[in-house]
Structure 1
Amino acid sequence: MSGSTSTSKEAVIPEFKQLMGHPSPLWMLFMTEFWERFAFYGIRWALVLYIVTQFYDGNAVGEKEANLTYGSYLALVYAGAVFGGYVADRVIGYQRSILIGAMFMAAGLFMIAVPNQDVFKLGLATIIVGNGMFKPNISTMVGKLYALNDTRRDSGFTIFYMGINAGAFVAPILTDYLARQVFNTGDTPAYKVVFFASGIGMLISLVWFYIGRAGLKGIGAAETTGASPMRTVMVGVGALAAIPLVYFLLKLGANALQGVLTVLFLILAAMLVVEGVREGKVSRDKTIAMMIIFAFNILFWMFFEQAGSSFTFLAENIVDRVGALGMAEFPTAWFQSVNSVAIIVCAPLIAWIWVAMGKRDVNPSIPRKFGLGIIFNGLAFGLLGYALSELVGPTGKIPFWTLFTVYWIQSIGELCLSPIGLSMVTKLAPTRLVGLGMGGWFLSTGIGNNLSGIFASHVSGESGMTVESALSGYQSGFMWLMIGGVLLFLLAPLIQKLMHGVK
């Protein structure tokens, strides 16, 4: 409850006005994240299609490189959260980190509208640096609104997660409409308009948080040593200096980048475990449990993030979209909104199920919820494998309902895993390194995303996706996910023991 503390180490939480049963700043953070996700997902559907169209003259041979670039971009977006979390923890506080990150993201979104491959990747690098300062810290701020023993904590994160998906739902529909219906002057969508509209959304997020942060009553503000304006300037300069490095990593290629990310993850794991050991046996065990779950998180996102890469080419070329849902042709971009609709519809139901099971003392542990998430992801790939082997029509395409259903099944898996993961980090990470722990969560997601690009490049092959290449890839995805989900279920009792009662 607001104003109370659960341990002597926990910071005192101010008394907040309650709105719909939660601290009122939650709703300000909700809308800040809504507009940031609008910006992020606004470009998601267009990136791989734009790369093929703009830099490969529409030739399907460009699909492989588009998938690899997309995976590397997403990986670095999430890997950057490690440094953003550390800067917020130790240097300038969470509020200033969020503001700096929002400015960089907006600049990068406008840059990628320039039709030059080097400027395009430089713009992606700028988005990556900004997102690293923004994303882990806005999530950590949600956790700081609640005491550790506040029973509303998980539901608060679920509400916040719905804000993420509300922005993600609106963005593809609006940006696709602008690109195809308003500013399109030929057969090719006006992809530059997509990027520009997303940049405007990011500016709205920046202004919203700047105005609304007063309501946080000091939560996430810089401590005395971090309040110096000079520190903020130095962080801004450091972020500018990081852009060429990130650009180099993008140019390096996904396979080489995987090695870099793996080393980074091992360093981060060592830092967290060392800090956990310093805080005592319980903190050490919790940190180890968190790292095990991070490993399974990599597996989940490796296959889940096909949505922006191989699933986009699948939807564009192998899914029969004509007449779907009563439309002349269901737009490829709109598939990116299906996941968000499913999250918005199913999130309250899943949250209710957890509460109801908790009242009967049969609520699955965090590891088992993660296992369920991985298994649902696997079932989605199983459906695709069935469609590509049994349901291919005379035109060489699979029915619309199959991919549409895949997004719904994956979304249920995501709800079993992702919002629980955000809350888990705030409960298990060492007290002094919660931001870095959140960075670890996003880094593990980033590693999965980079692997997703590598996997997608194999699905597309050297000359573009075919029914045969998609079938082979998605069947292997089904196998790996089911093995991973079952293994996590078997390990769940050990992991739960290491968590020392955290639920």
Structure 2
Amino acid sequence: MGPPLHAAGGPPSDPPEFPQVLGQPRPLWMLFMTEFWERFAFYGMRWALTLYIVAQFFDGNPAGEAPAGRLYGAYLALVYAGAIFGGYVADKLIGYQRSILLGAVIMAAGLFMVALPNETIFKFGLATIIVGTGLFKPIISTLVGKLYTAGDERRDSGFTIFYMGINAGAFIAPILTGILADKVFGTPDMPAYRVVFMTAGVGMLISLVWFWFGRHQLKGVGLPTLGNEGMGKVLMVAIGALVAIPVFYFLLSIPAKSLQWFVLMPMFIALCGLLLIEGVKNGGVARNKVIAMLIIFLFNIVFWMFFEQAGSSFNFLADKIVDRQFGGWEFPVGWFQSVNSIAIITLAPLVAWTWIRLGRANPSIPRKFGLGIIFNGLAFLLLMFALSSLVDPQSMKIPFWTLFSVYVIQSIGELCLSPIGLSMVTKLAPLRLVGFGMGGWFLSTGIGNNLSGLFAAEASGEGGMTTASALSAYTQGFWILMACGVVLFLIAPLVQKLMAGVK
């Protein structure tokens, strides 16, 4: 047994000596597969969500696309908002291992609930998934970090391997669930979307079982702190989770605009206010760092507002306006969701090599964020071109390669922006409120996701997506993204100055 462990807020302690597998601590590979199956579950159901809502609760009427997009955006926003509380529960109450196990049980229950063809149960299922994800997702990443000492040179490569697990699960899930929905249990004309959710539920159960039997490898890492070993706190958190589910159900049921202005924005403003007050207390340098971080948060909202069309309006675009025919075979709609993952796996080493190759010319953090937003904008420019100039006059559809390329271009933007986000927060947030800084990052992403649902509703219009409605919305998206990207690129020197040397 290694030395006693601590909560995240306590004094640091070194992890025990772990057996090595391929140069990394053995538990990393167990956590890799646990996360693989959790991401399989999450992304396995993601591609089908909006399509299922229209098919099941609107009898296939295209008028259901706009409310489906708004519900999808609200769901993703609350997933991120719920993650804010997961860290506190794991740190202060039940420990990391129990938080992951409890979260996995709750998520699996939610995934099977959304498969039931009842709208109320469906929304309660989404609310259950939100609560389970909050207990699971932010915690397992933290547990990976606890396998290494602060100065361990293997830490970055360990997180890279773990990140590959995330993308491998996200890559395989839409393909497998798409085959089950279209070929095995349904047809391309009548996909069996409920099978998608049940398959995702099975994936989550595999994740639960994998961690249950593999957690002994952690040698006590992530167990509850001294005084919290009993099951009383676990029961308390479980009851709290059950109470939280109806709260999230209510938040999913209110209009997305009300969620935005009366729930998410007040939370975000309060978090930013606390961070700014703490920064001012700590002097000019700390204040400036917080201001720089808050500026990045605002641009982060814009990025995710348009990036997350992948699970909403792009689905309807693929279903109705993209030519997916290859001879006698039709490319499944869900498979587009795998393009992002394979692009990330393929391009991540190239982007990392590019930053190293640039040396002293390596762009600053705000300029990388600006590049991420600009690449996102270029993806929308391609859609503008396709919808205005490449529509086949007979089929009224755009070529397959255009949407495929959009996902790839967006993935380049994600690689410029997303990997440095959490790292940036740890460097810029006041030391006493790093957790709140992380909360601000998650919340800004969540606000962007909720806005993505509102934007997706605009792309679909009142009567369902048409070439005209998509072109109008995506043109607007292009100009917003390019304007924000250029502005951030121009003010980058000022933002970098506020960062006081942080790179």
Task: Give the structure-2-normalised TM-score.
Answer: 0.91
State the partner residue of 1:243: 245
Task: Please state if 1:481 is matched with 2:481.
Answer: yes
Task: Say which of 114, 127, 140 aligns to 1:112.
Answer: 114
State the partner residue of 2:233: 231
State the partner residue of 2:463: 463
Backbone CA RMSD of aligned residues: 2.5
The offset of 1:339, in angstroms, is: 0.9
Q: Distance in 2 between matches of 1:397 and 1:81?
A: 39
Q: Distance in 2 between matches of 1:423 and 1:269?
A: 18
* 8 A Cα contact 2:109 2:128, kept in partner: yes
The offset of 1:434, in angstroms, is: 4.4
- Of 133-142 and 37-46, more deviation after overlay is shown by 133-142
Code of the residue aligned with 1:128 in structure 2: it is I
Code of the residue aligned with 2:362 in structure 1: it is N
The offset of 1:427, in angstroms, is: 3.9
State the partner residue of 2:136: 134
Code of the residue aligned with 2:360 in structure 1: it is D
Q: Distance in 2 between matches of 1:96 and 1:68?
A: 33
* 8 A Cα contact 1:166 1:340, kept in partner: yes
State the partner residue of 1:340: 341
Q: Distance in 1 between matches of 2:151 and 2:264?
A: 34
Cα distance per residue 1:190-231 (max 9 Å; x no partner): 111110110011111122223333333444333224434212
- Of 414-423 and 47-56, more deviation after overlay is shown by 414-423
The offset of 1:444, in angstroms, is: 1.4
State the partner residue of 1:502: 502
* 8 A Cα contact 1:85 1:436, kept in partner: no
SS in structure 1 opposite 2:104?
helix
Task: Say which of 116, 127, 139 aligns to 1:125.
Answer: 127
Query: Aligned ranges for residues 52-201 of structure 1 at < 5 Å?
Result: 52-146=54-148, 153-184=155-186, 187-201=189-203
| Pair 1:139–1:186, CA change in 2 (3 A) | closer
* 8 A Cα contact 2:35 2:165, kept in partner: yes
Cα distance per residue 1:114-161 (max 9 Å; x no partner): 100000000000001111111222233334444556555544433322
Q: Distance in 1 between matches of 2:105 and 2:344?
A: 28
The offset of 1:244, in angstroms, is: 0.5
State the partner residue of 2:354: 353
Q: Distance in 1 between matches of 2:343 and 2:140?
A: 23
The offset of 1:99, in angstroms, is: 1.9
The offset of 1:297, in angstroms, is: 1.2
State the partner residue of 1:329: 330
Query: Aligned ranges for residues 349-428 of structure 1 at < 5 Å?
Result: 349-357=350-358, 360-394=359-393, 395-428=395-428
- Of 125-134 and 83-92, more deviation after overlay is shown by 83-92
- Of 242-251 and 276-285, more deviation after overlay is shown by 276-285
Using the aligned pairs only, state the percent identity: 69
State the partner residue of 1:443: 443
Cα distance per residue 1:16-64 (max 9 Å; x no partner): 4454454443333222211111000101111111111111111111111
* 8 A Cα contact 1:139 1:422, kept in partner: no
The offset of 1:346, in angstroms, is: 0.9
* 8 A Cα contact 2:181 2:187, kept in partner: no
The offset of 1:66, in angstroms, is: 0.7
Q: Distance in 2 between matches of 1:282 and 1:139?
A: 30
* 8 A Cα contact 2:35 2:166, kept in partner: yes
| Pair 1:186–1:165, CA change in 2 (3 A) | closer
Query: Aligned ranges for residues 158-307 of structure 1 at < 5 Å?
Result: 158-184=160-186, 187-259=189-261, 260-274=263-277, 285-307=288-310
Task: Say which of 291, 310, 313 aligns to 2:313.
Answer: 310
* 8 A Cα contact 2:167 2:341, kept in partner: yes
Q: Distance in 1 between matches of 2:364 and 2:151?
A: 17
Cα distance per residue 1:72-121 (max 9 Å; x no partner): 11111111111112322333333322222111111000001110000000
Code of the residue aligned with 1:477 in structure 2: it is G
State the partner residue of 1:11: 12
Q: Structure 2, unaligned stretches of length 5 or more? A: 4-8
Q: Distance in 2 between matches of 1:149 and 1:354?
A: 22
* 8 A Cα contact 1:158 1:347, kept in partner: no
Q: Distance in 2 between matches of 1:87 and 1:277?
A: 29
| Pair 1:480–1:13, CA change in 2 (3 A) | farther
| Pair 1:238–1:478, CA change in 2 (3 A) | same
* 8 A Cα contact 2:303 2:376, kept in partner: yes
| Pair 1:23–1:486, CA change in 2 (3 A) | farther
Q: Distance in 2 between matches of 1:273 and 1:161?
A: 32
Q: Distance in 1 between matches of 2:196 and 2:488?
A: 40
Cα distance per residue 1:374-428 (max 9 Å; x no partner): 1111100010001111111112111110000000000111111112223333444
The offset of 1:488, in angstroms, is: 1.9
| Pair 1:422–1:26, CA change in 2 (3 A) | farther
Q: Structure 1, unaligned stretches of length 5 or more? A: none
- Of 107-116 and 262-271, more deviation after overlay is shown by 262-271
Code of the residue aligned with 1:424 in structure 2: it is M
Cα distance per residue 1:405-458 (max 9 Å; x no partner): 000000111111112223333444444554444333222111111000000101
* 8 A Cα contact 2:177 2:196, kept in partner: yes
Q: Distance in 2 between matches of 1:219 and 1:284?
A: 35
Q: Distance in 2 between matches of 1:179 and 1:304?
A: 25
| Pair 1:186–1:361, CA change in 2 (3 A) | closer
Task: Give the structure-1-normalised TM-score.
Answer: 0.91
| Pair 1:295–1:17, CA change in 2 (3 A) | farther
- Of 91-100 and 69-78, more deviation after overlay is shown by 91-100
- Of 124-133 and 279-288, more deviation after overlay is shown by 279-288
SS in structure 2 opposite 1:43?
helix
Aligned length: 494
Code of the residue aligned with 1:25 in structure 2: it is P
SS in structure 1 opposite 2:360?
coil
Code of the residue aligned with 2:252 in structure 1: it is L
SS in structure 2 opposite 1:320?
coil
Q: Distance in 1 between matches of 2:355 and 2:10?
A: 29
State the partner residue of 2:6: none
* 8 A Cα contact 1:140 1:426, kept in partner: no
